[in-house]
Amino acid sequence: MQRSGEMLVTPQPPRFSVEEGPGLRLTLPCKKDWFRILFFSVWMVFWYVGESNEIPKVIKGLRSGEAPIFDIVWLVMWTFFGLFFSSWVIWRLLGSEVLGVANGRFTLRKQIAWIGKSWEFDTSQIAALRFRPEHGAGKGYRESRIELDYGAKTYNFATGIQPAEASQLLGFVAKWAPTVRIEKAFEPDPPASVQSLGLS
């Protein structure tokens, strides 16, 4: 019997969709970080204003034979950062990752509206799969993700995935690729101050 004031929590479905047939196909939409998406979208408005004001100045200077070196360097850097952040926003809004397991192959595709890049791995050569929690702070902050060890390289996917989601996703992979070793989640070492107190 539910007590007054208590609310029954509804289990949340995973972010990814599952298709099982001749093989396994998992589609994982990119995590929507709405705060940063909004922040960079507003920043892009100012970027556009700066870009549209600077381009005519550079063109005018080049036509007059006086190369505005500072303006050219500034425009190149401004354009680079604008393209970088705009691609990040588009990826966060429209991007997705598609994982597949079939015929002894593990495939990973990162795409935006069917345009993207694919990787294919021999499941017998995958050393391990693991969930990596978020860690670090400031410039060293890294979002949670799943890591795949293949040869001497580690591949990352499913950025921002929740621990419960990662457990379900890895469970599907283990079902279709039982030879792949699923490692326990990697936990970053606690700060030295905590270790020194014997609290780790």
**Residue 136 located in a structural domain:** yes
| Residue 124: predicted pLDDT | 95
Return the pLDDT at 67.
67
CA gap 154, 128 in Å, rounded: 9
Contact present, 148 and 170 (Cβ < 8 Å): no
Q: Is residue 152 part of a domain?
A: yes
Six token digits for residue 123: 């499941």
Instruction: Give 157-189 pLDDT, tens digit per residue.
Output: 999 999 999 999 999 999 999 999 998 766 555
Within-domain flag for 117? yes
Q: Is residue 10 part of a domain?
A: no
Q: What is the pLDDT of residue 198?
A: 42
Write down the pLDDT at residue 194: 41
pLDDT digits (tens, 9 = 90+) for 138-152: 888 888 999 999 999
Q: Write out the H or E segment, with its range, that includes residue 82.
A: helix 69-94
Are residues 53 and 152 part of one domain? no
> Is the same domain home to 25 and 116?
yes
Same domain flag for 40 and 65: yes
2 in a structural domain: no
**pTM to 2 decimal places:** 0.76
191 occurs within a structural domain = no
pLDDT at 192: 47
Residues 87 and 107 in one domain: no
The boundaries of the domain holding residue 131 are: 17-31+97-176
CB 168 within 8 A of CB 14: yes
pLDDT for position 189 = 53
Answer yes or no: do 162 and 106 share one domain: yes
CA 28 from centre of chain: 10
Residues of the chain with pLDDT under 50: 191-200
Q: Are residues 127 and 61 in the same domain?
A: no
Q: Are residues 114 and 55 both part of a single domain?
A: no
Q: Report the C-alpha gap between 74 and 81 in whole angstroms.
A: 11
Q: What is the pLDDT of residue 196?
A: 39
* 62 and 25 together in one domain: no
Task: Give the model's pLDDT for residue 54.
Answer: 83
Domain co-membership, 106 together with 79: no
